[in-house]
């Protein structure tokens, strides 16, 4: 009898196919496709939040690479004046490092906006035209004060470059914000369907028949992947409409800066991370929704579910402004926020090995959530968990 039962993946496929076509051919799904039209206001608010996040990113620093004596005098004067005058943050370098200012500006790990070389009497500032134009006055003021205050403000020679790593990083923050916002909108719009997935089948006793025929893990997996497939159908429809709109108004829309990993790989990673984000949050929603007895209970649970998604979104948005910090690593490790944080990383950092580790980590947590949800459903709802073993000693009958 056991040999004739389907494997867990075969059973999950049967459930997924059944749920997919049942939802796809329903009238409610057609009305559901119109839902994104009501999220225009949310998109505007998310864009404003992204602009604020981009402005709060780590500011670029000024690399000071003069002689050791001039460096020390400049740094001491900078320390004394920074509370009274708005000055850029500085980092002291050796003369040898300052010999290649363009290489320093191209180094994405240093976040330099400009490089100061030369002497205090004749400083030379290398950087983008916007950056060196903004820092020319403060540099001249600090250099004159560091030289003893007897000199007039020295002329600062400007050596403009096309771009610096600080400009590139600032632009990529915008791409990261757009990726996280789109991922949040899609999961918030689509994951809510999972909450009420089992309520009707529980009321009709269908779930009892399924539980008797196939493992409950397979039921949960099948329903999750069916909803994921339905989500891709919706995304395909909305994407086609968005492509038409973008084609008509492409001239009025500024292009997004290219992500660090390149557009083809970034799009592929976005699709994978969306799938995992949906499976992670969907497995939690499916477990919580399976405990609900009525549709009214599901409606009551929808508000905490939305708050959970907002908390994950805000954590990832806050963390992406400081790549490599403790809060950003926490966002990458925490299962529910990991897909969001890794999308931001793909936009800002070119390393690929971190994505391999993150994907394995997220898949493992999907398995954990599904297994935990299935066990809770069996024990709390189906009442089919292992019975507790009584430790009381049997009473002896009187002789």
CATH number at residue 134: 3.40.50
Last residue of a domain, one of 141, 163, 185: 163
Tens of pLDDT, residues 129-148: 878 888 888 888 898 888 87
350 in the same domain as 297: yes
Residues 6+ apart with CB under 8 A from 242: none
Residue that has been written with the tokens 């004046």 in this structure: 81
Predicted TM-score of the model (pTM) = 0.67
The predicted structure's pLDDT at residue 330: 93
352, pLDDT greater than 80: yes
What's the rounded Cα separation, in Å, for the pair 12 and 18?
10
Measure the CA angle with vertex 48, ends 47 and 54; round to 5°. Answer: 85
> How many structural domains are present in the chain?
2
Chain segment 208-251, per-residue pLDDT in tens? 777 778 888 888 899 999 999 999 998 888 888 878 877 776 55
276-327: per-residue pLDDT in tens? 999 999 898 888 877 777 777 777 777 887 888 889 999 988 888 888 889 9
Same domain for 97 and 222, yes or no, is no
Alpha helix segments (H runs only) across the chain? 8-24, 27-32, 40-55, 68-81, 95-98, 101-106, 129-146, 165-191, 199-203, 206-213, 216-248, 263-290, 295-319, 326-333, 338-348, 353-376
Q: Which two tokens stand for residue 256?
A: 């997004």
- Tens-place pLDDT, residues 12-57: 998 899 889 988 888 888 878 776 656 654 664 565 555 555 555 6
Run of H or E including 114? strand 112-118
Residue 129 domain-assigned (yes or no): yes
Three-state DSSP state, 123: strand
CA distance 91 to 315: 30
What pLDDT does 331 receive?
Answer: 93
Percent of the chain's residues with pLDDT above 70: 80
In a domain, 300, yes or no: yes
Do 82 and 40 share a structural domain? no
Q: Measuring CA to CA, which residue among 220, 208, 347, 358 is closest to residue 277?
A: 358
Q: Count CB atoms within 10 A of the CB of residue 397.
A: 5
- Considering only CA atoms, give the Rg of the chain: 29
Domain that holds residue 181: 2-55+167-247+254-381
């Amino acid at each position: 009898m056991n040999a004739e039962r389907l494997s867990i993946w075969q059973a999950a496929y049967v459930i997924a196919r059944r749920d997919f076509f049942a939802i796809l051919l329903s009238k409610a799904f057609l009305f559901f496709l119109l839902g994104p039209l009501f999220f225009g206001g949310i998109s505007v608010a998310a864009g404003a939040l992204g602009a604020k996040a981009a402005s709060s990113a780590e500011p670029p620093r000024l690399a000071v690479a003069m002689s050791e004596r001039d460096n020390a005098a400049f740094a001491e004067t900078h320390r004394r004046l920074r509370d009274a005058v708005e000055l850029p943050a500085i980092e002291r370098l050796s003369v040898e490092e300052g010999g290649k200012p363009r290489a320093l500006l191209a180094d994405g790990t240093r976040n330099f906006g400009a490089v100061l070389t030369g002497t205090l009497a004749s400083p030379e500032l290398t950087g983008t035209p916007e950056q060196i134009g903004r820092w020319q006055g403060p540099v001249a003021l600090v250099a004159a004060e560091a030289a003893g205050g007897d000199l007039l403000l020295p002329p600062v020679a400007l050596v403009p470059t096309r771009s610096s790593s600080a400009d590139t990083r600032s632009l990529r923050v915008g791409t990261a914000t757009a990726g996280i916002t789109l991922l949040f909108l899609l999961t918030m719009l689509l994951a809510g369907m999972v909450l009420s997935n089992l309520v009707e089948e529980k009321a009709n006793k269908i779930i009892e028949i399924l539980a008797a025929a196939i493992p409950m893990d397979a039921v949960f997996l099948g329903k999750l992947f069916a909803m994921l497939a339905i989500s891709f159908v919706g995304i395909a429809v909305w994407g086609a409409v968005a492509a038409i709109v973008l084609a008509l108004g492409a001239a009025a829309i500024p292009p997004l800066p290219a992500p660090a990993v390149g557009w083809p790989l970034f799009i592929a990673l976005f699709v994978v991370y969306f799938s995992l984000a949906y499976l992670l949050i969907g497995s939690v929603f499916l477990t919580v929704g399976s405990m609900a007895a009525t549709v009214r209970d599901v409606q009551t649970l929808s508000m905490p579910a939305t708050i959970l998604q907002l908390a994950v979104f805000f954590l990832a948005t806050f963390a992406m402004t400081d790549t490599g910090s403790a809060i950003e690593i926490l966002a990458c490790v925490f299962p529910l926020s990991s897909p969001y944080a890794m999308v931001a990383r793909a936009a800002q950092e070119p390393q690929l090995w971190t994505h391999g580790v993150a994907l394995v980590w997220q898949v493992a947590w999907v398995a954990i959530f599904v297994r935990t949800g299935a066990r809770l459903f069996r024990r709390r709802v189906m009442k089919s968990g292992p019975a507790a073993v009584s430790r009381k000693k049997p009473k002896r009958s009187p002789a």
